[in-house]
Amino acid sequence: EVNYMNRVASRNPFELITTMMSFILDRIENQNIRIGKLVANQKNAIINLFYTPTILTTNSLIF
C-alpha cells in the first residue's frame, strides 16, 4: 500500500507522539508483511495479500 497522505509538522507534543506512533506502527506492519513473505517462500506456501486503501478519496463530491 502506498501512503498518499503527507505528514505535516506537529503543532504540539501530543500530536508529535501520535505521529511518531503512527510512523512506528506503519514500519512494523511493513516488516511483518516482509517476514511473512520470506517464511512463506521458505516453506513453499502461497500467501494471498489483499490491500484495502486507507484513504478512499480526497474529493468529498465522489460520495
- The string of pLDDT tens digits covering residues 17-54 is 988 898 899 899 999 999 999 999 999 999 998 877 76
Asked whether residue 47 is domain-assigned, the answer is yes
**Percentages helix, strand, coil for the chain, rounded to the nearest 5?**
50, 0, 50
Asked whether residue 55 is domain-assigned, the answer is yes
The residue range of the domain holding 54 is 11-63
Cα–chain-centroid distance for residue 34? 13
| Distances 57 to 7, 20, 61 between C-alpha atoms, Å | 17, 24, 9
Asked whether residue 57 is domain-assigned, the answer is yes
Instruction: Calculate ∠ Cα 26-17-32, nearest 5°.
Output: 20
Q: What is this structure's pTM?
A: 0.62
Residue 44: what pLDDT?
96
Asked whether residue 61 is domain-assigned, the answer is yes
If one counts the domains in the chain, the total is 1
